Amino acid sequence: MVYDNKAIGVIGGMGPAATADLFTKLVSLEDAAADQDHVRILVDCDSNIPDRAAAIAGTGESPVPEMVRSAVGLEKQGADVLIMGCNVAHYFYRDILPFVNIPFLSILDETCRAVRDAGYKKVALLACGMTLKSGVYLEAMDRFGIDCIRTTAEEQACFDCLIYDGIKKGDHGIDVTDIRKAVGRLTAEGAEALVLGCTELPVAFDEYGIGADVPLIDPTSEIAKSALRYLGRKIRDE
Q: Which residues are catalytic?
A: 86, 198
Angle between helix 153-160 and helix 177-188 axes, rounded to 10 deg: 130
Pairing outcome for strands 193-196 and 147-149: unpaired
Compute the distance between CA of residue 38 and CA of residue 235 in angstroms, rounded to an integer.
11
Q: Which residues contact 188 (CB under 8 A, 6 or more apart)?
A: none
Look at residue 189 and give its three-state secondary structure.
coil
**Amino acid at site 135:** G
Can you say whether residue 78 is alpha, beta or left, with left for phi > 0 and alpha for psi between -120 and 50 degrees? left
- Residue 89 exposure: Cα atoms within 13 Å on the Cβ side: 28
Look at residue 206 and give its three-state secondary structure.
helix
